[in-house]
Amino acid sequence: MDKVILIKYGELSTKKGNRNFFINTLSNNVSNKLKKYDVSIIKDRAHMYIEFRDEDFSNIKKEIDKVFGIHKYNVANIVDNDIECIKDVVLEMVMNDNPNTFKIETKRSNKSFPLNSYEVNNVLGGHVLKNTSNIKVDVHNPELLIKVEIRDNKTYIYSKEYDGAGGYPLGTQKMGMLMLSGGIDSPVAGYLAMKRGVQLDCVYFEAIPHTSIEARNKVIDLTRKLAEYGNSINLHVVNFTKIQEEIYRNCKDEYCITIMRRMMYRIMDRLCKKYKGYVIVNGESIGQVASQTLTSMNVINSVTNVPVIRPVACLDKLEIIDIAKRIDTFNISILPYEDCCTVFVPKHPVINPRMDTAIYEEEKFDYEYLIDEAVETLNTIKVDSTDNSYSDLL
């Protein structure tokens, strides 16, 4: 019996004008993920079919579970559009599963097939009942649901359907630059942006010797987790030490965080121009800390015209943690290494900063020069989803 992985696109099939671009991007992403397996990929406007070797299924499943743009998928048996062949396969599937109750659900897009969906359900249901004992039909809550899709050339029959990663295929949007710290929020923000098709570069601000190599390695590990949804991600490591030291030497205590974040945004603005990033993505969440009140966001955001996407802005911390656990970044994020934001936290950071005070305070040192230097001296690391080493990074 021939088998195929049948992929349903979901949301992207509503994109009329762009449909081909979406489907082609998805099929490239799938074939990239599966390049070490013996598969062939066939696509049409509504579905993608992957022919595969049985023994590879569990590994292939792990890979396609991380491909955005897939709504649902299943492993379907393929037979000719012949009711006798369909009957044989359905009966075999029921006998293999041996449920107490079952239901057949037929969709017939091939209108030249001699029976309509309702008639096919009846014929198949009757055939199963006649050839088994103690199995009943339950149309509301069946133990085994068998779906039969009669298409133009072949019929696809399957029972178990898996949820895909959802969203849009990675690369259907231009590039964004993620501010990636070692915390819980920013990897989740990155994941959610990637899920909308945004290809990411990541930027990490470090302040060695105030922060450690372990803290950097943690960010590399988080980048690697995100890279699993594509292939590799560039991580730009910015040396932020001098800027941070100057801020704390020159500026009023309670404005240090506001000004530090204005400096980060200025650098992000420059990096977006340098690397063709169209948006800045970060893990800010409304009201979480002093620098994330709406007044703070206003004063901080005003140094750049690049749009800032904050995917977790309106989520509760517990909701963010749920996603972090699901995407397996949580256990890395809670490792205890200091981030540059946490090293220099003032006792009473301003909650409602004033724009004029922030400008007055930051003009106490020559930050333009330091920003130029930080941009020119950054280190870029290519983080591969499959490579676990740090050796080329230090």
Which residue lies nearer to ligand ATP by CB, 107 or 317? Answer: 317
Which residue lies nearer to ligand ATP by CB, 70 or 198? Answer: 198
Question: Strand 72-80 and strand 161-163: pairing?
Answer: antiparallel
Report the nearest approach of ligand ATP to the CB of residue 211 (Å): 8
Q: Which does 340 bind (CB under 5 to 8 A by kind): ligand ATP, Mg ion, none?
A: ligand ATP
Q: Which does 341 bind (CB under 5 to 8 A by kind): Mg ion, ligand ATP, none?
A: ligand ATP
Q: Which does 204 bind (CB under 5 to 8 A by kind): ligand ATP, Mg ion, none?
A: ligand ATP
Q: Which spans of this chain sit near ligand ATP (rule: CB under 6 A)?
A: 179-181, 183-186, 203-205, 282-284, 288-289, 339-341
Report the nearest approach of Mg ion to the CB of residue 75 (Å): 40
Query: Is residue 320 a contact partner of residue 285, using CB atoms and an 8 Å limit?
Result: yes
The dihedral sign for the CA sequence 281, 284, 290, 293: positive
Which residue lies nearer to ligand ATP by CB, 91 or 289? Answer: 289
Report the nearest approach of ligand ATP to the CB of residue 326 (Å): 16
Report the nearest approach of ligand ATP to the CB of residue 249 (Å): 19
CA distance 379 to 100: 61
Closest CB to ligand ATP: residue number? 183
Torsion of CA 234, 325, 285, 171, to 10 degrees: 40
Q: Site map for Mg ion, 134-173, x if CB under 5 A? A: ----------------------------------------
Query: Is residue 207 a contact partner of residue 214, using CB atoms and an 8 Å limit?
Result: no
Q: Which does 186 bind (CB under 5 to 8 A by kind): Mg ion, ligand ATP, none?
A: ligand ATP
Which residue lies nearer to ligand ATP by CB, 148 or 243? Answer: 243
Q: Which does 179 bind (CB under 5 to 8 A by kind): ligand ATP, Mg ion, none?
A: ligand ATP
Task: Name the amino acid, one letter, at 179.
Answer: M
Among 142, 154, 185, 282, binds Mg ion (CB under 5 A): 185
Closest CB to Mg ion: residue number? 185
Cross-strand bridge partners of residue 73:
7, 162
CA distance 379 to 87: 62
Report the nearest approach of Mg ion to the CB of residue 180 (Å): 12
For the chain, the residue count is 394
Q: Is 339 in the site for Mg ion (CB under 5 A)?
A: no
Contacts of 150 (CB under 8 A, 6+ apart): 81, 86, 106, 107, 108, 109, 110, 113, 120
CA distance 93 to 84: 14
The dihedral sign for the CA sequence 247, 253, 259, 260: positive
Q: Which does 181 bind (CB under 5 to 8 A by kind): Mg ion, ligand ATP, none?
A: ligand ATP
Tell me which stretch binds Mg ion (CB under 5 A): 81-89, 181-189, 215-223, 301-309.
Answer: 181-189
Task: Name the amino acid, one letter, at 144.
Answer: L
Q: Which does 172 bind (CB under 5 to 8 A by kind): Mg ion, ligand ATP, none?
A: none
Task: Name the amino acid, one letter, at 341.
Answer: C
**Token pair listed for 30:** 């799938």
Contacts of 186 (CB under 8 A, 6+ apart): 178, 179, 180, 222, 282, 283
Report the nearest approach of Mg ion to the CB of residue 352 (Å): 19
**Token pair listed for 168:** 């849009």
Report the nearest approach of Mg ion to the CB of residue 284 (Å): 7
Q: Which does 128 bind (CB under 5 to 8 A by kind): Mg ion, ligand ATP, none?
A: none
Residue identified by tokens 């066939």 is 42
Which residue lies nearer to ligand ATP by CB, 182 or 230? Answer: 182
Which residue lies nearer to Mg ion by CB, 337 or 390? Answer: 337
For the chain, the helix, strand and coil percentages under 3-state DSSP, each to the nearest 5: 45, 20, 35
Q: What does R_g of the chain's alpha carbons equal in angstroms?
A: 27
Which residue lies nearer to Mg ion by CB, 185 or 246? Answer: 185
Site for Mg ion, rule CB under 5 A: 185
